[in-house]
Each structure stands twice: as structure tokens, then as C-alpha cells.
């Protein structure tokens, strides 16, 4: 049975509730090791009025603070970061087979003086690899060529050579056989009338990547507003909301986040800390369960 390190996320949010609520189910699939200390676990369980399972295995993450449900707090942000680092440490030492992360709050990280905006940036820095962010479910997966940057900066990143490397890394990480590439501009640029990135950068990158791989894996550029009408497939979006607005409208409850092109496999829930329902017993566990299942299906 595979061992999975679970970073507990922001303790002022829904992460601990999800971990406790889903434990009986996921322990049948994997051996989870939760990155949290006993004192914080007991505090959270008491607030939830949940009992702690006897086989709820933890690995100590130092820290002691008051849990304030629904509050953006530096101490909670720092603890979620330390929990994630502990999970990475376990994976690097081959003590676990993969990592699954529960949600953090980016503002809480900022308040704690953490320089990263999220999990993926941490992984890039630690492993010195260009991690790829992919989100979705078995019906529909979307990889993001650019992620958490201002929209006005996206067009500056759309360059043929960068796209080619991204395409090849994405294929080698997933082995998906058909991958649609979204255009940047409305109507895929309408032959250059609405923008020429498709002609100058994206189409040449598709052609060259397929030539390098010696097979027709990538197709497009696809008109973005109709690319998702079949509600299935594997796609590369040029920017964050282009891909995720459609994905989350279709599969919000069941989709997950996966970090690819790294020496370790990391999956995550595809939702935030949900401070508005924290410690109310309302959190859903489907995305978390699917994040664990992805490891079972795709981990070699």
C-alpha cells in the first residue's frame, strides 16, 4: 500500500475537517501520514466535535496557536507552510510515495512573510524544475501555460520556444495522446485580425513539438470559447482563467490540482480554504478523495 504525506493546509479553514472526515475511506486505498502535531490536531478535532481515529498517523510539525475558524492569520499561514515543507521532506527522503495537499490561504502566507504565492512555486524552487500546474478530473484536464500573473503580462510570455518546452514536458509527464492547445486571442486571432500570437508563436510551437515527438499529440490553436463544449478532453490553456473558468463551471466538486514535471508527485484539492464554512461540518471531501485516487491510478 502506498504511503501518502498529507499537508494539513490552513487550520483556520476546512482542511482538517476534510482529513478527519475522509480518513476511514482513504485508509482503505493508501496509508496517509498527516503533517500536524498532536496538540494542534486535538484543538481542531475539539472545535469540530470529531473524535480522532486511533490509526490517524501523524508526523510532528512544530507550532502552537489558537485556531480561529474563518480568519486570515499569519500563524495559521506559517503552520500550513511548515506542514507542506514536512510533506516534501518525507517525499525527498523516500518515506512516502507522493504528497497530497489540503488548501492554504495565499494572504495568510503573505502575512507570515512567506515569499511564495502557493504550493507550485515552492516546488519549483526546491526542485529547480519548471513544475506544471494541471487541474481537472478524468473527464477533463487543463494545464496552465501561465498561472498566477497579471493578465497584462500573459502576452509577453507567449513565445514559441517556451511553448515547445512546455508542450514536451507536459506530454512526457502525462503521456496523454491528444492534447488541445487553446489560442490566446478571441476567435484564435481571426487570421491575425484580432492578434497574431497564434500565427507567430502558438501554431509553430505545435508543429515543432509534434515533429520532435514524431507523433501528432498537439492540435490547435483552438478557439477558446468553444473548446470545452464537449465537456471532456485534455487541454493547455494560455492563462489561468481561460482554462479554469470552464473547468470549475463543469467539475468544481470533483476536480483536483496536480503538479507535474517534478521528481515527486503532488496532488491537491482544487478548492480553497472555504473560511465561510470552516468548522461547521459542511466541507465536501470528493476533491480530496479524487486527489488520492489520481496517485493510485498514475503513480508508477
Instruction: Please indicate, yes or no, whether residues 83 and 160 belong to a single structural domain of this protein.
Output: no
pLDDT band at residue 297 using 50, 70 and 90 as cut-offs: confident
State the Cα–Cα distance between residues 20 and 52, nearest whole angstrom. Answer: 7
pLDDT band at residue 117 using 50, 70 and 90 as cut-offs: confident
The residue segments making up the domain with residue 14 are: 1-130+262-300
Using a 10 angstrom Cβ sphere, with 0-12 exposed, 13-18 middle and 19 or more buried, the burial of residue 153 is exposed
Instruction: Please indicate, yes or no, whether residues 147 and 73 belong to a single structural domain of this protein.
Output: no
Instruction: Please indicate, yes or no, whether residues 187 and 152 belong to a single structural domain of this protein.
Output: yes
Give the number of domains in the chain.
Answer: 2
Residues 237-275: pLDDT tens digits? 999 999 999 999 999 889 999 999 999 999 999 899 999
Closest CA to 149 of 121, 169, 130, 180: 121
Instruction: Please indicate, yes or no, whether residues 79 and 149 belong to a single structural domain of this protein.
Output: no
Instruction: Please indicate, yes or no, whether residues 167 and 105 belong to a single structural domain of this protein.
Output: no
Instruction: Please indicate, yes or no, whether residues 155 and 218 belong to a single structural domain of this protein.
Output: yes
Instruction: Please indicate, yes or no, whether residues 171 and 103 belong to a single structural domain of this protein.
Output: no
Q: What predicted TM-score, i.e. pTM, was given to this entire model?
A: 0.88
The count of other CB atoms within 10 Å of the CB of residue 52 is 15
Instruction: Please indicate, yes or no, whether residues 247 and 270 belong to a single structural domain of this protein.
Output: no
The count of other CB atoms within 10 Å of the CB of residue 58 is 17
Has residue 80 got a pLDDT over 60? yes
Instruction: Please indicate, yes or no, whether residues 189 and 214 belong to a single structural domain of this protein.
Output: yes
- Strand ranges in the chain using DSSP code E only, listed in sequence order: 3-7, 31-35, 58-59, 98-101, 132-136, 140-144, 179-182, 218-222, 233-237, 256-260, 266-269
Using a 10 angstrom Cβ sphere, with 0-12 exposed, 13-18 middle and 19 or more buried, the burial of residue 281 is exposed
Q: What does DSSP assign to residue 12?
A: T
Q: How confident is the model over 77-96, as a mean pLDDT?
A: 98
Residue after which a domain boundary falls, among 215, 234, 253: 253
State the Cα–Cα distance between residues 86 and 48, nearest whole angstrom. Answer: 24
Backbone angles phi, psi at 136, to 5 degrees: 145, -155
Cell of 236: 493547455
Q: How confident is the model over 98-126, as a mean pLDDT?
A: 95
Considering Cα of 261, then 263, then 267, then 272, what sign does the dihedral take?
negative
Instruction: Please indicate, yes or no, whether residues 279 and 218 belong to a single structural domain of this protein.
Output: no
Q: What is the pLDDT of residue 298?
A: 79
Percent of the chain at pLDDT > 90 equals 94
State the Cα–Cα distance between residues 300 and 282, nearest whole angstrom. Answer: 34
Residues 132-158: pLDDT tens digits? 999 999 999 999 999 988 999 999 999
Residues 160-197: pLDDT tens digits? 999 999 999 999 999 999 999 999 999 999 999 999 99
Where do runs of H (alpha helix) occur along 151-268?
A: 151-157, 160-174, 197, 203-213, 240-251
Residues 199-215: pLDDT tens digits? 999 999 999 999 999 99
Q: What does DSSP assign to residue 88?
A: H
CB 214 within 8 A of CB 175: no
Instruction: Please indicate, yes or no, whether residues 170 and 230 belong to a single structural domain of this protein.
Output: yes
pLDDT band at residue 300 using 50, 70 and 90 as cut-offs: low
Q: Residue 269's domain is classified under what CATH number?
A: 3.40.718.10
pLDDT band at residue 226 using 50, 70 and 90 as cut-offs: very high
Instruction: Please indicate, yes or no, whether residues 75 and 184 belong to a single structural domain of this protein.
Output: no
Q: What is the pLDDT of residue 138?
A: 92
Amino acid at each position: 500500500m502506498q504511503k501518502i504525506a498529507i499537508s494539513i493546509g490552513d487550520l483556520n479553514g476546512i482542511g482538517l475537517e476534510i482529513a478527519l472526515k475522509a480518513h476511514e475511506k482513504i485508509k482503505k486505498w493508501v496509508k496517509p501520514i498527516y503533517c500536524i502535531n498532536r496538540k494542534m490536531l486535538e484543538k481542531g478535532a475539539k472545535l469540530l466535535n470529531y473524535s480522532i481515529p486511533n490509526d490517524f498517523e501523524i508526523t510532528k510539525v512544530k507550532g502552537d496557536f489558537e485556531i480561529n475558524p474563518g480568519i486570515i492569520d499569519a500563524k495559521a499561514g506559517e503552520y500550513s507552510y511548515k506542514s507542506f515543507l514536512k510533506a516534501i521532506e518525507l517525499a525527498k527522503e523516500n518515506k512516502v510515495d507522493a504528497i497530497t495537499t489540503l488548501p492554504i490561504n495565499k494572504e495568510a502566507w503573505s502575512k507570515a512573510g512567506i515569499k511564495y504565492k502557493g504550493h507550485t512555486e515552492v516546488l519549483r524552487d526546491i526542485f529547480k524544475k519548471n513544475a506544471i500546474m494541471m487541474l481537472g478530473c478524468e473527464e477533463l484536464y487543463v494545464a496552465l501555460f501561465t498561472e498566477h500573473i497579471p493578465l497584462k503580462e500573459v502576452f509577453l510570455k507567449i513565445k514559441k520556444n517556451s511553448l515547445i518546452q512546455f508542450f514536451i514536458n507536459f506530454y512526457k509527464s502525462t503521456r496523454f495522446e491528444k492534447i488541445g492547445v487553446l489560442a490566446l486571442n478571441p476567435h484564435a486571432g481571426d487570421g491575425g485580425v484580432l492578434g497574431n500570437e497564434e500565427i507567430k508563436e502558438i501554431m509553430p510551437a505545435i508543429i515543432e513539438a509534434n515533429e520532435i515527438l514524431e507523433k501528432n499529440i498537439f492540435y490547435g490553436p483552438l478557439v477558446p470559447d468553444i473548446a470545452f463544449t464537449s465537456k471532456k478532453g485534455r487541454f493547455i490553456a494560455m492563462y489561468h482563467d481561460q482554462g479554469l473558468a470552464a473547468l470549475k463551471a463543469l467539475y468544481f466538486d470533483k476536480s483536483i490540482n496536480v503538479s507535474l514535471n517534478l521528481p515527486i508527485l503532488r496532488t491537491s484539492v482544487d478548492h480553497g480554504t472555504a473560511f465561510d464554512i470552516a468548522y461547521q461540518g459542511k466541507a465536501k471531501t470528493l476533491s480530496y478523495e479524487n486527489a488520492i485516487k489520481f496517485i493510485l491510478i498514475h503513480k508508477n
